[in-house]
Amino acid sequence: MEALADLVASLPAGVVATDPATVAGYRFDWARDTAAGTPVAVVRAEDAAQVQTAVRWAATHGVPVVPRGAGSGLSGGASAVDGGIVLSLERMRAIEVDADCQVAVVEPGALNAEVKAAVREQGLWYPPDPSSFEICSIGGNVATNAGGLCCVKYGVTTDYVLGLDVVLADGTLVTLGGKRIKDVAGLSLVKLFVGSEGTLGIVTRAILRLVPLPLPPATLVASFPSVVAAAEAVVAVRRTLRPSMMELMDRASINAVEDFSPRGLDRSAGALLVVQSDAPGDARTAEVGAVEAACTAAGATEVVVTDDPAEGEMFVAARRAAFPAVEARGALLLEDVGVAVPLLPDLLAAVTEIGVRHGVEIPTVAHAGDGNTHPIIVYTAGDADSERRARAAFDDVLRAAIRLGGTITGEHGVGRTKKAALPEMLGDDVMALTRRIKDALDPDGILNPGAVL
Amino acid sequence: MEALADLVASLPAGVVATDPATVAGYRFDWARDTAAGTPVAVVRAEDAAQVQTAVRWAATHGVPVVPRGAGSGLSGGASAVDGGIVLSLERMRAIEVDADCQVAVVEPGALNAEVKAAVREQGLWYPPDPSSFEICSIGGNVATNAGGLCCVKYGVTTDYVLGLDVVLADGTLVTLGGKRIKDVAGLSLVKLFVGSEGTLGIVTRAILRLVPLPLPPATLVASFPSVVAAAEAVVAVRRTLRPSMMELMDRASINAVEDFSPRGLDRSAGALLVVQSDAPGDARTAEVGAVEAACTAAGATEVVVTDDPAEGEMFVAARRAAFPAVEARGALLLEDVGVAVPLLPDLLAAVTEIGVRHGVEIPTVAHAGDGNTHPIIVYTAGDADSERRARAAFDDVLRAAIRLGGTITGEHGVGRTKKAALPEMLGDDVMALTRRIKDALDPDGILNPGAVL
C-alpha cells in the first residue's frame, strides 16, 4: 500500500508501526470482540499535530481511524477495523495541575489514576472513578462519559470536563471551552464530544475540573437475603440521602471474588451493599445511621460499620475485583444496563429470571445508587451451545432494560457490542437525528466506523 | 397572508393571536433589543402537538420561529423577527414530581420558582437559581443553560437535565434521555440541546434531577475597600472551600440598591461579598471561620456572620435586587462575562478602567465564586452620546473577557446582543463547526434565526 508509506514518512520514526506483531496487539479492547479486524498500521501519536497529520492522511485516502486510549473499554469501542489505522493516544500523557483554577490540563493517554495522584499532591481530587481507574485513560473516560463508584454523589465524567481540544475528521484542531467554570457562549460542543466514543473527533487535551479532597469515608456493609431486598434498601436510602458510594454485589459475584482472592466476604449472603459516607462530623453519624436503619428495614441480616478507611477500602476493592474475578471463570459478555433507581429491584429480578431461563451464570454487581448494573454473563469459550445461550441472555438483558424505560449502557458506551440494540432503545427519529450530527461532522465516515452507529 | 389563515385554522381557537396589540407584547424580552422585529402571529401552544403543528406550518412556508418562555431573557434570545412567529410556551406549565425517582417532569412554561415550590413540598430541591427565578421559565433556563447563585457548589442547569422532549425544525418530536441517572447510549443529545437557545429545536418537556433539600444556610457578609480586594478573597476561598454561595456587589450596585429600596447596606464599602455555607454541623463552623479568615487576610474592614436564615436571605435579596435597582437609573446594557476564578481581580479591574475611560457608570455584581460577573452599563436613553459611549464600553468589556481567556456569556446566553462578539471569542474553526451542526438540524434556518449565529 503506497499511501501507507506516505503516512510513515510524514511522522517521526517509531510513531507508525506496521509490523504484524505490534499491530496485532492493538486489535482488541477488553471486550475481546471476536469481530475485531486487523488494522494496516498503529499510529502512536506524541502530540496533537501528529494526530492531525494521521487524520488528514486518513481523510485523504478514505481510511478508517479507530482512536484508542488504554484499550480497557468494555464495549468494543476500540475494536480495530480491517484496513484501517488504530490511532493510539497512549504516549500523550502529560498532566499539568493548575491549583489556583482547580483544574488539570491532561493529555488523553494519561491514566485516570495518574490524574488522581497528580492532583492529590495539591490537596485536590478528580472524582470520576471507573472500577478500572488504575488502567483506563482519561481519553477513554471522556469518549465514553465514564462513571464509577462515586458518581452517586459526585457525578460522571461530563460533569468535570470544562474544555477539550479535538481533532475533527478533516484534521482541523479545535479548542472548546477553557478554565472558566461557567460558559454558555455558543452550542454546548464540549458536552457533545464527551460520550461520542471517537465517532465525531479525537480528543487531544482535556481541561478537567477538580474539587477539594473529600474526607476519608465511613463504610457500611450490609448483607441481604436477596438482591431484590438489597435493591429495595437502595431505593429507600436514595429517597432522602446522598451517600458517597452505594455498590451492590450479588451472591455469585461475592463467591467469584472469594474464589479468586479470598477476602472474608459472606459467601452465604444473597447480596451485599457497600455504602460509604464522606459527610463531615455529626452529619456522617446521622447519614450512616439512616442507611443502617433503611437496610435493616429492608431485611438486612447483618450490618457492619467501620470508620477505618483502610478497612472500608478492602470492601470497595472486593467490589472492584468482580470483573477480573468473574473473568477467571470463563469468557464473558459484559452488561451495563441501567434504570431509574426505583426500578432497580425489577431489573435485578429480570436478570435473575433470564439467567435461570437460559441456564447461564450471571454474576451481577451494580452502582446501585445510580440504578446502573453490571450483569456479567459467563460462558464457555468454544462451546457453541454455551455461547448461544449467553448471547440470548445478553440480548434479553438489554431488552429488559429497554422495557423498564432504562438504558443499554450507563457508563461503558455502546461501542460495537451493544450497537444492535441502540435503535430499539432510541427509536428511528433519535437514530436519524444522531446520524445527521455524525454526517455533519464526519461526512466520509472515517472516525471509528462501526461504533455506536 | 393566506398561509397564516391555515395556521390559525389548524390550531384551537385562542392559540394563535394575530391582533397587533397582542403581538406587540411579544416583540421584546428583558434585553429590550431595539432591533426586535414585529411577528405576524403569536402561537401560545398548549401542548407538544400544537408546537409540532406550528413548526410544521413554519417549515412548509419558510417562516422564522422564535421560541419564547417567560420573556425574561437578558440577551435578546427571544427578540421577535419581522415576518416570523413567536412560539410562546407560557401556557405549557405542568409540573409532575416523582419523589421516588427524585425527578420533576416539567413543561417549559413552568417558572423556576414554581418548580422549586412543587418539589419542596416533597422535601426535594431543584438547585439552579437564576436571580430572576421568580419570573423565568424552565424552558428559558434550559435554552440558556441558566446558572444562578448556588452554582458555585451545585452546578448549572445542564447538570440537572436528565431528559428532554424536543420538537425539531421539521416538526418531529423526539424524546431524549429519561428518568435514569446514568445513560451513555448514543450521543449526548440532551446536553447538546441544553444551551442551544432555541436554534436547534423547541423543548416541550424536561426531566429535571432533584436533590434532597439543603440545610438552612449560615450567611457571611464582608465589606472590602475595593472590588479587587474582594475578588482576591474569593480566589483565596475557592482554593480550598466550596461555599454554597459567593456573591459580590460593588459600591455602585450597593448604592443603586439602597437608592431603590433601602436595606441598610454599607454605602461606603468598595465591595461586599455575600457568602453562604450549608455544610452540616461542625463543618459549617469550620467553613464559615475559614471564609472569614480569608476575607480578613484580603483586607475586609468588617465581617458579619448570621445563622438566621431570614437575616441571611435579606442580604441575598439585596444582591438579587441589583438588576431592577440599576434599571431604575436609566437604560441598561447587561454584561455576563466570566473568567477563570484567579483572573476575577483582573476582569473587575478592567471593567473599572473601561467605565472611567468611556465616562459611563458600570455597577457590577458577580457570581464571584464562579468568576461570572454582571457589569451593568447604564446610559441615558435618547442621548446619542451617552448611548454611543455605553456601546463602546459594552464592546470593550466583552473584549477584556476574551483577552483574559474568558467568556462573553456565563449564563445569559449569546442571543442577539452578544452575537457580534462570538466569532472573536470562538474563532473561525469553532464557528464553522457550530454552523455545521446548526445546518444539520435546521437546514432552512427557521429556528430562532439571528440568535447566536
Residue range A121-175, pLDDT digits in tens: 999 999 999 999 999 999 999 999 999 999 999 999 999 999 999 999 999 999 9
C-beta separation of A376 from A335 below 8 A? yes
Question: Could you give the percent of chain A with pLDDT greater than 90?
Answer: 98
* Domains of chain A in sequence order: 2-88 (3.30.43.10), 95-212 (3.30.465.10), 215-324 (3.30.70.2190), 330-447 (3.30.70.2740)
User: Are the Cβ atoms of B411 and A182 closer than 8 angstroms?
Assistant: yes
Residue type, A142: V
User: Are the Cβ atoms of B188 and A240 closer than 8 angstroms?
Assistant: no
Which of B447, B415, B421, B448 has its CA nearest to residue B72?
B415
CA distances to A421, A422, A431, B185, B205 from A427, rounded to whole Å, are 10, 8, 6, 12, 18
CA distances to A182, B142, B170 from B193, rounded to whole Å, are 17, 8, 16
Q: How far is CA B382 from the centre of its chain?
A: 28
What are B373's strand-pairing partners? B366
Contacts with A427 from chain B: Cβ below 8 Å? 174-175
Nearest residue, CB atoms, A188 vs list B99, B194, B339: B194
Tally of CB atoms within 10 A around A417 = 27
Quote the ipTM score. Answer: 0.97
User: Strand (E) positions, B337-380?
Assistant: 364-367, 372-379
Q: Name the residue of chain B whose CA is nearest to A284's CA.
A: B280
Contacts with B184 from chain A: Cβ below 8 Å? 144-145, 147, 195, 407, 409-414
C-beta separation of B82 from B38 below 8 A? yes
Region of residue B52 (phi > 0: left; psi between -120 and 50: alpha; otherwise: beta):
alpha
Query: Residue A298 in 3-state DSSP?
Result: coil
User: Are the Cβ atoms of A433 and B168 closer than 8 angstroms?
Assistant: yes
Digit-coded pLDDT (tens) for A316-341: 999 999 999 999 999 999 999 999 99
User: Are the Cβ atoms of B188 and A158 closer than 8 angstroms?
Assistant: yes
Q: What is the DSSP letter of B47?
A: S
Digit-coded pLDDT (tens) for A5-28: 999 999 999 999 999 999 999 999
Nearest residue, CB atoms, A414 vs list B147, B186, B238: B186
What are A306's strand-pairing partners? A219
Contacts with A346 from chain B: Cβ below 8 Å? none
Contacts with B434 from chain A: Cβ below 8 Å? 186-187, 189
The torsion angles phi and psi of B65, rounded to 5 degrees, stand at -120, 120
Mean pLDDT of chain B: 97
Contacts with B282 from chain A: Cβ below 8 Å? 280-282
pLDDT by residue, tens only, chain B of 453 residues: 679 999 999 999 999 999 999 999 999 999 999 899 999 999 999 999 999 999 999 999 999 999 999 999 999 999 999 999 999 999 999 999 999 999 999 999 999 999 999 999 999 999 999 999 999 999 999 999 999 999 999 999 999 999 999 999 999 999 999 999 999 999 999 999 999 999 999 999 999 999 999 999 999 999 999 999 999 999 999 988 999 999 999 999 999 999 999 999 999 999 999 999 999 988 999 999 999 999 999 999 999 999 999 999 999 999 999 999 999 999 999 999 999 999 999 999 999 999 999 999 999 999 999 999 999 999 999 999 999 999 999 999 999 999 999 999 999 999 999 999 999 999 999 999 999 999 999 999 999 999 999
State the cell numbers at B152: 458555585
C-beta separation of B154 from B127 below 8 A? yes
pLDDT at position B1, please? 65
Contacts with A179 from chain B: Cβ below 8 Å? 340, 405
C-beta separation of B369 from B237 below 8 A? yes
C-beta separation of B446 from A198 below 8 A? no
- How far is it, in rounded angstroms, from Cα B449 to Cα B84? 10
| Residue to test with chain A: of B156, B187, B194, most A Cβ within 10 A | B187
Give the mean model confidence (pLDDT) for residues A29-44: 95
B332's enclosing H/E stretch is: strand B331-334
User: Are the Cβ atoms of A433 and B441 closer than 8 angstroms?
Assistant: yes
Q: Please give the angle made by the CA atoms of B240, B232 and B311, to the nearest 5 degrees.
A: 80
